[in-house]
Amino acid sequence: MPPAKGEERYRIEATVRNTGARSGAEVLQVYLSVPSGNGVPQPPKRLVGFQKVWLEPGESERVAIEIDPAASNHPLSIWDSARNEFIIPSGLFTVWIGDASDNLTKVGTFEK
């Protein structure tokens, strides 16, 4: 589905490498820190995308995860109870990537 008018998709890319001696899988995860809107605090980070990659020993693969603001999971949105709808708050969004919620690296920011 194409993004809604005026909304762009965000593509996050990273290289995943198997440094072990056995075949295995890794799940690359993308999280967002979303600004609070209408005074409603948001969790520090929310999972917005992931992809599982199977790799042989020593193998690496470039992985791309797309964040679509118009997706049904509302990755950039917060619930506005006054409007009774999801809205994308204004402010700074921070993008994190890693293999677990407690093992993340900040990879960038964008403003809405």
51-88, pLDDT tens digit by residue? 999 999 999 999 999 999 999 999 999 988 888 999 99
CA distance 78 to 84: 11
For residue 5, being part of any structural domain is answered with no
Structural domains counted in the chain: 1
The CATH number given to whatever domain includes residue 61 is 2.60.40.10
41 — pLDDT class (breaks 50, 70, 90):
confident
For residue 3, being part of any structural domain is answered with no
For residue 101, being part of any structural domain is answered with yes
For residue 2, being part of any structural domain is answered with no
Query: How many CA atoms does the CB half-sphere of 91 hold within 13 Å?
Result: 17
pLDDT of residue 102: 95
pLDDT of residue 4: 47
6 — pLDDT class (breaks 50, 70, 90):
low
2 — pLDDT class (breaks 50, 70, 90):
very low
CA distance 46 to 108: 15
Structural domain of 75: 10-111
CA distance 47 to 101: 8
Vertex 32, ends 30 and 33: CA angle to 5°?
A: 150
For residue 81, being part of any structural domain is answered with yes
For residue 4, being part of any structural domain is answered with no
For residue 102, being part of any structural domain is answered with yes
